[in-house]
A and B are shown apart, each in its own frame.
Chain A
Amino acid sequence: MVSPSSDASPVLRLTFLAVLVIALFLALFARLWFLQVLTGDRYVELADSNRLRTVVSEAPRGAILAADGEELVRNRPALAISADRQVLLDDAGDPRDEEAERVIARLGELLDLDTDEVINRLSSQRRSPFRPVPIETDVSQEVVFTVREQQELFTGVETETLPVREYPQQTLASHLIGYVGEISQEELLNPDFTDYLGGDLVGRSGLEQSYESQLRGTPGRRLLVVNARENVLDVQSDRAPIPGNDLVTTLDLDLQEATEQLLEEGIVSSRDIQRDDGRFLPSVAGSAVALDARTGAVLSMASYPDYDPREFLGGLSQDYADFLFEPESYQPLVNRAIAGEYPPGSVFKTASGAAMIEAGQIGPRGTRDCDAEFEVGGVTFRNWNRGVNEGPMDLADALKRSCDTYFYTLAYDTWQQEQAQDDPEEALIEVGERFGFGRSLDLDLPGELDGRLPGRAWRQAYWEANRERWCEQADAAPEGSVERELLSDNCQFGGAWRGGDAVNSSIGQGDVLSTPLQVAASYQAVANDGVLMRPHVGDRIVGPDGEVVEEIEPEALGDLGIDDQVLAVMREGLEDVLMDASGTGESAFDGFPLGEIPVAGKTGTAEAGPRVPYSWFVAYAPADDPEIVVAVNVEQGGGGSQTAAPIVRNILEHHFGITAAEDAEFEAGDEILD
C-alpha cells in the first residue's frame, strides 16, 4: 500500500471512483425503472402494434328489395387493380425507390392514367393503410391478365374482385334507395363510425343511410404476426366477413314504376296548360306518395326531377355534379316528398276544420255562410270562387266546395276566444299535430322535414329573431312609403299573432308549411278511422341465410282524437269532393268508375307569393274501405284539380287495374277550382 495519509492518496481517489461508478449505475437503475415499470404499458402497446398487422376484407353489402322480392339494389363483383401503398410509396408520399417509380409508371400506362394520378389515388388519405388501395375499379379481364402474368413487373400491385353497387331497376326509387360513398375524414373521427376504416363505403342518403348498420355487414379481419421484414409468421386470429343483411321494403315495384312515370308525364304534360292570365304552367318539380291506408307502409314515393344513383359509383364526375347543383336542375337530389316544405293550402282544411270543432266554435253539422269575402282588421280575405255567396255550409259542404270563408270566420272566432285567455291552448296547433303536421313522422328515411304549424309562440320567437333587421329596414325605407309603414309595423308589433294570421293559417296558407308525406299521412289517419300510422319503407330485415332477422311492424303514432261523427262528416265531405257534381275534384275524375271504386280526396291550390300556385291533390280509395292513400304536389303546377288531381287519378287507375300507366292520359280539371 502506498502513502495512505496524503491528500492525493489512492484510497481517497478510489473512493471518488467508487462514487462515480455508483452514480452511473444508479442512473441506469432509475431509467430502467421509468421505462419498464412506470411507462411499460405504453411500450407493450407499441410492441404489439409492431408485430400485429390487421388485414381487412370487405363484407358484401346487403341488397334492398321491393315488397315482392325484386332487387332494387344489389352487389356485383367488379375486377379491380389495387396496390400496396407501403410497398410503393415512402412516408412522404413519393415513390419509395426507382423500382417503385417504374412500377407506378407501368401501372399508369396500363390503366391510361397519369403517373401523378396513380400516386394521387394511391396516397389518398381516405384509404385504409391496412389493405391495398384500389387504383381502378371495373377494369377489363385483359388488364387483370397483364398484371397477373407479369407480376414481377408489378411489385406491390394486386388484382382483386370488389363488390360494387348495382341497380337492376336503373334509376327506379333512387330517392328512396339513396346511394353509398366512401367514408369521409370527418366521419372517421365521429364516434358513430368507430369500426369503420378509410375507404369503407357508407350509406349517404335514403335507405342506404337509414339502414346502414343492417346493410353493412361485418368486415373480415385477420390479425397477422409479422417480423421486422413484414414477413407473415403466424395468423393470430381470423374472422371471416359477415355479409350485410338484406332489406325488404314495402315498396310495390309496379306501383313505384307507375308513380314515377305518371308523376313525370303529368308534370311535363301540364306545362302545355295555359292559364287564364296567358302564362303556361311552369310545373317545375313535384312529388308523389302512396301509403297503405291501414299500416302507413309506403307503397311508392317519387320526386321529380330525379337523379341516377349509378353516377355516384366510383366518384361523381364533374359534369354530373354540375348538373346536380345548377339552379335550372331544381335540386334533383332532394326527395321532395319528405324534404319539400310547401304551404298545404286547402288540403289542410281537414285538420283546421277539426280544430274549429274542437275549439267549440261549431258542431259537425253546424253551418256558416260561405260568403264571398271576410274582413279582418281592414284586410279583405276572399273566397277562391271570386265573388259569390254560396249560402250556409256545414263541414262536409265546406270541404266539398273548399269554402275558404267558412274556415275564415271560424278561425277568427277561435282566435278571439284564445286572445281572451291568459295562456291559450291553440287548437290549430294541438289538432294539427295529431294530424301529423308540424312534426317528424319518424319515417325510416333520412332528411324528413318537420314542416311548420305557426302560432303565438312561433310568431314571438320569429319576431325576436328578426326585429332588429326589420327595424333597420324600416328606418332605411323612404319616409311615408307603404313599405316603411309595413316594416315599422313589423318592427314594433311583429311579435303579435293577429286575427289575419289565424285566418290565413286556417286554409293552410300564411306561415303553415308541410311536406307531401305529412299531407298523405293526415289523410291516411282520416281513412284509417282516426289512427295515424308511422309511415315506413322498411318491411323486414333478412339475413344472408334468408332468415328474417327483424320484422318492422306497423306502429300507431297517435289518434286524431276527434268524434266518430266529426270523422264521418269529414269523410262525407271528402267523398263529395270527387263524387258530387259540385265537388272541386269532380271534373278531374270525370269518367273514373267511382261507382265501383269510390274515391274520397281533396284539392289544394297553395298560393306562394307572386309565383304560380302549388298544385295539391290527395285521395284515398276505396272511400268506404280505404286501402291506399295518394298525395301529389306539383310546384308551380297551378290549381289542384288542374295538375295534381289527374296524376293522382292515373296512379289510382293503375293501382286498381283500370288503366295501365302506359295508357295514361292527363285530363286537367278546371283551373279555378281550388
Chain B
Amino acid sequence: MEIGYGQDREQRMLRDRVQARWTSTYSPVRHLDPVLVLTALALTGIGLVAIYSAKLVALSSQDLPTTFYVTRQLIALAIGVIAMVLTAIVDYRQVRIYAPALYGIGLILLILTLTPLGTEINGSQRWIVIGGFQLQPSELVKLSVLVTIAALLHESKGAPHIGHVGLSLLLTLVPTGLVFLQPDLGTSLVFIWGTAVLFLIGGVQARYLVGLVVGGVGAVIVGWQQGLVAEYQLSRLTAFLDAADATAAQTAAFQTRQSLIAIGSGQFAGKGLFEGTQTSLSYVPENHTDFIFTVIGEEFGFLGASVVLGLYLVLVWRGLRIAILSKDMFGTLVASGIVAILTLQVFVNVGMTIGLMPVTGLPLPFISYGGTSLIVWFAMIGLLLNVHMRRF
C-alpha cells in the first residue's frame, strides 16, 4: 500500500497550510522595515520645507513660482520611490552578479561627464544634461562602486587576500580619480571612505588597513606638494579656519561665516519657519543645496537641528541592525557601507556649515536640493530593505 502525503488529502492540505504559513512568514514582503522608509520620507519632507523656505524670497523677487525647486524635488522623490521599490524587489544576491555591469556603466558615465557632453557649473564639470534634467553620475557611481567592492569582498569569505584588496583598491581609485578631475573633492573622499569601511567590515587584516592609511596619507602629501589640488579647493579647505575674520568677506570664508551666523542666530528654538533673515535675504550662498542645513539651524534652532540629526541616527541604527542581521557577507557589507557613506556625508556637510569641516561640495542626504542625490539615496534605502527582507 502506498502511503504518501500526496495520497492523503488531509495530510497534504495540512502540509500545504504549514508550508504556506512558513512561506508567508518568511515572504520578503512581510519583512519590510517601515521605520527605515518613514524616516527617509520624513527627512525628505523636512528637506522640501527647507528648500521652499530657502528660495521663497529669492524666487518671488524674480517673479518665479515659489514652488519651482520644490516641484522638481518632488519629481525626483517620485523617481526615488520607484528606484527604491526596484532595488528592493530584485534579490540583492542577483545584484552581485550584475555588479561588474553596473560598475562599467558608472565608469562610462563618469568619463562622458568629463567630455564636452558634460556640463560645467561653478567651475566644476559634474553633470550630464538629459532631456532637461541634470544627471550627476558621481552620485550613481557611489552606489555602483559600493556594490562592486562589496561583491568582491564577499567572494573572499571574510578573509580577503592581498589580490582582492589590491583589485578593490584599483576599482575604487579609478572612479575616484575621475571624480577628482571634475573637480569634486567631497565625492571622491566618499568613495575612498566607503571602500575603507568595507575593508574594515570585510575582514581585511589590520596590518593591511594600517598600511593603506599610511600610504593614503603619503599620497595626499605628495599630491599637495605636486599641486594636484586646485587653488580654489585649497582656499575652500582652509577658509573655515579663519571664519571669524570679518575682513575676509567676499573670499571663501564668507560662506562659512554667513553659515555660522545663520545657524548660531537660530539659538535654541529657532526664528520660526520663513523668519530666518540670513536665509531669506540670501546671505548664505547655496542654501538650498550644500548649505541647506543653515536653513534648518536658523529657522528651527538647536531643537530642529537635533531632530534632523536624530532622524539620521535612526537611519544609522536601522542600517547597522540590517548589517548585523544579514545572512551573508555581501548584505552586511552593502548595509554597513551605506551607513558609512551616510554618516560621512552628514558629518562633512553639517560639519562644514558649523565650521567643523572645510567647505566641500557634498549634499546633505535626503534634504539638499538635487535630484540624482535623492534618487540614489532612495535606491540605497531600497537596497537596505532588500537585505533586510531576505535575511532568512
Residues of chain A having any CB pair with chain B under 8 Å: 1-3, 6, 8, 10-11, 13-14, 16-18, 20-21, 24-25, 27-29, 31-33, 35-37, 39-44, 46-48, 50-51, 91, 225-229, 233
Contact B265 A46 (CB under 8 A): yes
Min C-beta distance of B258 to chain A, whole Å: 8
Among A11, A21, A27, residue most surrounded by chain B Cβ atoms (within 10 Å): A21
**A163 CA / B305 CA spacing, docked (Å):** 53
Which of A2, A32, A43 interacts with B332 by CB under 8 Å? Answer: A2
Which of B197, B302, B336 interacts with A32 by CB under 8 Å? Answer: B302
Contact B320 A17 (CB under 8 A): yes
Write the B332-357 contact mask toward A (1 if CB under 8 angstroms, else 0): 10001001100100110011001110
Using known A-B contacts A13-B203, A21-B343, determine if residue A36 contacts B336 with beta carbons closer than 8 Å.
no
| B303-323, CB < 8 A from A | 305-306, 309, 312-313, 316, 320, 323
Contact B261 A10 (CB under 8 A): no
**A11 CA / B324 CA spacing, docked (Å):** 7
Contact B267 A37 (CB under 8 A): yes
Could you jot down 23 A-B contacts, CB within 8 Å? A8-B159, A10-B323, A11-B324, A14-B323, A17-B340, A20-B343, A21-B339, A21-B343, A25-B316, A29-B309, A32-B305, A36-B268, A37-B267, A37-B268, A40-B267, A43-B262, A43-B263, A43-B265, A46-B264, A47-B278, A50-B261, A50-B283, A51-B277
Residues of chain B having any CB pair with chain A under 8 Å: 57, 157-159, 197, 200-201, 203, 205, 247, 258, 260-268, 277-278, 281-283, 297, 301-302, 305-306, 309, 312-313, 316, 320, 323-324, 326-329, 332, 336, 339-340, 343, 346-347, 350-351, 354-356
Which of A2, A31, A41 interacts with B328 by CB under 8 Å? Answer: A2
Return chain A residues, CB-CB under 8 Å to B278.
Answer: 47, 50-51
Return chain B residues, CB-CB under 8 Å to A33.
Answer: 302
Contact B203 A14 (CB under 8 A): no
Min C-beta distance of B212 to chain A, whole Å: 15
Which of B247, B266, B313 interacts with A36 by CB under 8 Å? Answer: B266
Return chain B residues, CB-CB under 8 Å to A27.
Answer: 347, 351, 356
Return chain B residues, CB-CB under 8 Å to A29.
Answer: 306, 309
Return chain A residues, CB-CB under 8 Å to B328.
Answer: 2
Which of A46, A225, A233 interacts with B261 by CB under 8 Å? Answer: A46
- Cβ-Cβ contact count across A and B, 8 Å cutoff: 148
Return chain B residues, CB-CB under 8 Å to A32.
Answer: 263, 297, 302, 305-306, 309, 354
Among B157, B305, B355, residue most surrounded by chain A Cβ atoms (within 10 Å): B305
Contact B264 A39 (CB under 8 A): yes
Which of B57, B159, B260, B347 interacts with A43 by CB under 8 Å? Answer: B260
Contact A16 B264 (CB under 8 A): no
Return chain A residues, CB-CB under 8 Å to B201.
Answer: 10, 13-14, 17
Return chain B residues, CB-CB under 8 Å to A14.
Answer: 201, 320, 323-324, 332, 336
| CB nearest neighbor in A for B269 | A36
Contact B327 A1 (CB under 8 A): yes
**A29 CA / B302 CA spacing, docked (Å):** 9
Return chain B residues, CB-CB under 8 Å to A13.
Answer: 200-201, 203
Contact A17 B264 (CB under 8 A): no
Q: Is the interface of B mostly helix, strand, loop or mixed?
A: helix
Which of A24, A48, A226, A228 interacts with B343 by CB under 8 Å? Answer: A24
**A416 CA / B81 CA spacing, docked (Å):** 115
Contact A35 B263 (CB under 8 A): yes
Min C-beta distance of A307 to chain B, whole Å: 43
Return chain A residues, CB-CB under 8 Å to B57.
Answer: 227
Return chain A residues, CB-CB under 8 Å to B268.
Answer: 36-37, 40
Contact B323 A44 (CB under 8 A): no
Among B205, B265, B305, B332, residue most surrounded by chain A Cβ atoms (within 10 Å): B265
Return chain B residues, CB-CB under 8 Å to A42.
Answer: 264
Using known A-B contacts A27-B356, A32-B297, determine if residue A10 contacts B203 with beta carbons closer than 8 Å.
yes
Contact B265 A40 (CB under 8 A): yes
Among A10, A18, A225, A233, residue most surrounded by chain B Cβ atoms (within 10 Å): A10
What are the 3 closest A-B residue pairs judged by CB atoms, nearest first? A43-B264, A40-B267, A47-B265
Contact B354 A233 (CB under 8 A): no
Min C-beta distance of B255 to chain A, whole Å: 11
**A227 CA / B297 CA spacing, docked (Å):** 19
Return chain B residues, CB-CB under 8 Å to A43.
Answer: 260-265, 267
Min C-beta distance of A5 to chain B, whole Å: 12
**A384 CA / B40 CA spacing, docked (Å):** 111
Return chain B residues, CB-CB under 8 Å to A2.
Answer: 157-158, 328-329, 332
Contact A28 B351 (CB under 8 A): yes
**A42 CA / B261 CA spacing, docked (Å):** 9
| CB nearest neighbor in A for B327 | A1
Contact B312 A25 (CB under 8 A): yes
**A16 CA / B323 CA spacing, docked (Å):** 13
| CB nearest neighbor in B for A43 | B264
**A37 CA / B313 CA spacing, docked (Å):** 22
Among B266, B268, B336, B351, residue most surrounded by chain A Cβ atoms (within 10 Å): B266
